[in-house]
Structure 1
Amino acid sequence: MTMNALTRSQIYVLDQDEALDFYVGKLGLEVHTDVDLGFMRWLTVNVPGDRDREILLEKPGPPALDPATAEQVRELLTKGAMGGWLSITTDDAHKTYEALVAKGVDITDEPTERPYGIDFGIRDPFGNRIRIGQMNPQS
């Protein structure tokens, strides 16, 4: 058995249209798939040009969660206690930071030099944490 790619990740969002506004409108990701399956909306985004890796922006509910559990997840998400975590790279951390500040994105910390590069933190409207980094070249 050989695993050869990570293709999809998932984070919970309370409102998929608001999530689209944030991830596409503010972060500059692009819609990969937006399909009404009847029992749920399958909504994924990806970094422009990287259609092999998708992020599912999933509303808590069926089929993954029963109604009572979905309500608990929504409560925890609203309190900021259940946010997911994403890491996105950029060619210029400082320029990206300034652009996101200008768009009113919730910044959790400013660009900082680290052993692996320069990175900073933001939060989406649902409490999910995102690190954006300009990575040092690997030797």
Structure 2
Amino acid sequence: MSIALQYCHITVNDVDEALAFYRDALGFEVRNDVGNGGFRWVTLGTPGRGGTEIVLSEPHAGRSQADGDAIQELLTKGVLPMIVLSSDDLDKTFENARAAGAEVLEEPVQQPWGPRDCALRDPSGNLVRIAQAQ
């Protein structure tokens, strides 16, 4: 038996703004773009690498008003779970994200616990760490 993570959701304030970050700056490709009830979900994946995908959606997409409001509050505070990515060229990926206007929290550095990585916030305030691929 084998098991793997297929996709994870990232809640964002504005899907188009998030696309400019995840697609244009970080290099993900759009795999699916679905609208439903005035909201949309966009699935992105890494070109040529298959594997895990990310799904961008707004706080109220597919949720009750109360649940969407609660998630919006957490998103605004910047306390939703972080996403950790890896790149075969951390420095180039970091510079692309910085040039796209990402908030830099930590430039690429060798961490005492092992990986060389950096920390950014996406346009919605989500914490994104990017590690140098091994």
Q: Same fold (TM over 0.5)?
A: yes
TM class by shorter chain equals 0.7 to 0.9
CA shift for structure 1 position 88 = 1.3
Q: Which runs of 5+ in 1 are unaligned?
A: none
Residue range with higher mean Cα deviation, 11-20 or 34-43: 34-43
CA RMSD, 1 decimal: 2.0
Q: Match for residue 88 of structure 1?
A: 85
**1:32 and 1:51 in contact (8 A); partners too:** no
SS of aligned partner of 2:13: coil
What is the percent sequence identity of the aligned residues?
Answer: 39
Structure 2 partner of 1:29: 28
Kindly indicate whether structure 1 or structure 2 has the higher relative contact order, using CA contacts under 8 Å at least 6 residues apart. Answer: 2
Give distance in 2, aligned partners of 1:95 and 1:60: 31
Distance 1:36 1:103 in 2: 26
The residue aligned with 2:56 is 57
SS at match of 1:17: helix
CA contact (8 A) 1:35 1:41 kept: yes
C-alpha distance in 1 between matches for 2:115 and 2:66: 43
Q: TM-score, normalised by structure 1?
A: 0.82
Gaps of 5+ in 2: none
Give 1:77's aligned residue.
Answer: 75
CA distance in 2, matches of 1:101, 1:67: 34
Whose radius of gyration is greater, 1 or 2? 1
Displacement of 1:40: 4.2
Q: Is the 8 A contact 2:23 2:30 kept in 1?
A: yes
Q: How many aligned positions are there?
A: 133
- 1:131 is matched with 129
Query: How far, CA to CA, are the matches of 2:132 and 2:61 in structure 1?
Result: 37
Which amino acid letter does the alignment assign opposite residue 119 of structure 1? D
Residue 121 of structure 1 is aligned with which of 107, 119, 122?
119
Deviation at 1:3, TM superposition (A): 4.6
Q: CA 1:95/1:42 → structure 2, altered by over 3 Å: closer, same or farther?
A: closer
The partner residue of 1:103 within 100, 103, 106 is 100
